[in-house]
């Protein structure tokens, strides 16, 4: 054991020294364009996080009425609306939503493509037939697909924050960034040369974003009495985007907790078994 101990303690000291030196050097060297998004409270954060059903339903409403006119979500299917761990609409509600949309199908017996009402198995129809069409309609910018967007956005945490995040299980860079972006539109500061067709956003890297402020107060009518503000819309649609990107988050965290308990108990049993086996042997 003495060898182990010396190995361990001598491991930590130099690492701490190195960490400190590098950490102090970091801010001086780093050159970041945009401020860090504020870390919001999300119901799905942490080891016992779950989605807030009502929030996902509201977020879906915002997506459907506002975002989806420009943004696609090609991996998101109507059936997902009714699956466990999501907004958990009833199957009938999900069917009703699906039937509001015309989906291209075919070819029929004459060889022609045709439109029919959506079914649960269909995926969310994209607002544009292809990326070129999307760009042409949006001043050359491509509105990104929502399918994995909440996991595809991040910001650099830096040292030592990125190590602390391992312990605190912080995984919400994407949602925090998206929420910050949605509420981050403001007047450009004096002297900032905003390119034609761009808008100033505090949190967008480079600050010049092609997407105009997408939503304003009161634009979407909520039925559950939630505030109809940009801030609330933004939180709701961000939660919805996180669910679209990670639909099995709840199952993952639930099973994870069970696995953790099992492993810790098993490790404890193994530890005592190991002690018994080695009892008569000095080592």
* Beta pairing partners, 103: 116
Out of 61, 147, 201, 238, the residue judged to bind other proteins by CB under 8 A: 147
Smallest gap, in angstroms, from Cβ of residue 260 to other proteins? Answer: 6
Task: Respond yes or no on whether the N-terminal peptide bond of residue 249 is cis (omega within 30° of 0).
Answer: no
Q: What are phi and psi of 200, to 5 degrees?
A: -85, 125
Smallest gap, in angstroms, from Cβ of residue 254 to other proteins? Answer: 9
According to CB under 8 A, which residues from 60 to 99 bind other proteins? 75, 77, 79-80, 83
Smallest gap, in angstroms, from Cβ of residue 277 to other proteins? Answer: 5
Decide: 232 and 220 in contact? Cβ < 8 Å.
no
Task: Please identify, among the stretches 191-199, 209-217, 229-237, 241-249, the one whose residues bind other proteins according to the rule CB under 8 A.
Answer: 241-249
Q: Using the rule CB under 8 A, is 54 a contact of other proteins?
A: no
Smallest gap, in angstroms, from Cβ of residue 188 to other proteins? Answer: 22
Q: Binding site annotation covers 211?
A: yes
Closest of 212, 211, 206 to residue 192, by C-alpha: 206
100, two tokens? 């509001």
Smallest gap, in angstroms, from Cβ of residue 265 to other proteins? Answer: 7
Closest CB to other proteins among residues 217, 261 = 261
Environment class of 199 (CB within 10 Å of its CB; exposed 0-12, middle 13-18, buried 19+):
middle
According to CB under 8 A, which residues from 199 to 238 bind other proteins? 205
> How far from chain centre, in Å, is Cα 154?
9
Closest CB to other proteins among residues 103, 220 = 103
Q: Using the rule CB under 8 A, is 20 a contact of other proteins?
A: no
For tokens 């059903």, the residue is: 53
Smallest gap, in angstroms, from Cβ of residue 255 to other proteins? Answer: 7
Q: Binding site annotation covers 179?
A: no
What 3 state SS string does 80-147 have?
Answer: HHHCCCCCCCCHHHHHHHHHCCEEEECCCCCCCCEEEECCCCCECCCCCCCHHHHHHHCCCCCCCCCC
Count of residues interacting with other proteins (CB under 8 A): 74
According to CB under 8 A, which residues from 150 to 179 bind other proteins? 151-154, 159, 165-166, 169-171, 173-174
Task: Please identify, among the stretches 51-59, 183-191, 221-229, 247-255, the one whose residues bind other proteins according to the rule CB under 8 A.
Answer: 247-255
Smallest gap, in angstroms, from Cβ of residue 48 to other proteins? Answer: 10
DSSP E strand boundaries for the chain = 102-105, 114-117, 199-200, 208-209
What's the CA gap between 15 and 193, in Å, rounded? 45
DSSP 239-269: HHHHHHH-TTHHHHHHHHHHHHHHHHHHHHH
Closest CB to other proteins among residues 46, 127 = 46
Out of 70, 120, 141, 208, the residue judged to bind other proteins by CB under 8 A: 120
Q: Binding site annotation covers 70?
A: yes
31, two tokens? 């050159």
| SS3 assignment, position 182 | helix
For residue 189, give the DSSP letter.
Answer: P
Q: Provide the annotated binding site for heme c.
A: 67, 70-71, 211
Q: Which residues are annotated as a binding site?
A: 67, 70-71, 211
């Amino acid at each position: 054991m003495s060898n182990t101990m010396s190995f361990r303690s001598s491991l930590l000291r130099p690492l701490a020294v190195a960490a400190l030196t590098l950490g102090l050097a970091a801010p001086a060297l780093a050159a970041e364009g945009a401020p860090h998004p504020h870390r919001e409270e999300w119901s799905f954060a942490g080891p016992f996080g779950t989605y807030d059903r009502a929030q996902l339903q509201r977020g879906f409403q915002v997506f459907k009425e506002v975002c989806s006119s420009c943004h696609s979500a090609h991996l998101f299917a109507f059936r997902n609306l009714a699956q466990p761990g999501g907004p958990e609409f009833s199957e009938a509600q999900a069917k009703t939503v699906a039937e509001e949309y015309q989906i291209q199908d075919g070819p029929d017996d004459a060889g022609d493509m045709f439109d029919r009402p959506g079914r649960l198995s269909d995926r969310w129809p994209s607002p544009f037939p292809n990326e070129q069409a999307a760009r042409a309609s949006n001043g050359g910018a491509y509105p990104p697909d929502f399918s994995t967007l909440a996991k595809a956005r991040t910001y650099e945490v830096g040292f030592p924050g990125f190590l602390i995040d391992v312990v605190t299980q912080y995984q919400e860079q994407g949602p925090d960034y998206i929420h910050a972006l949605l509420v981050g539109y403001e007047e450009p500061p004096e002297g900032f040369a905003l390119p034609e067709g761009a808008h100033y956003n505090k949190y967008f890297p480079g600050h010049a974003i092609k997407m105009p402020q997408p939503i304003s107060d009161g634009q979407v009518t909520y039925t559950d009495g939630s505030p109809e503000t940009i801030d609330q819309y933004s939180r709701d649609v961000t939660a919805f985007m996180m669910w679209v990107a990670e639909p099995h988050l709840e199952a993952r965290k639930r099973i994870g907790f069970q696995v953790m308990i099992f492993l810790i108990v098993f490790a404890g049993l193994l530890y005592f078994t190991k002690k018994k086996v080695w009892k008569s042997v000095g080592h």
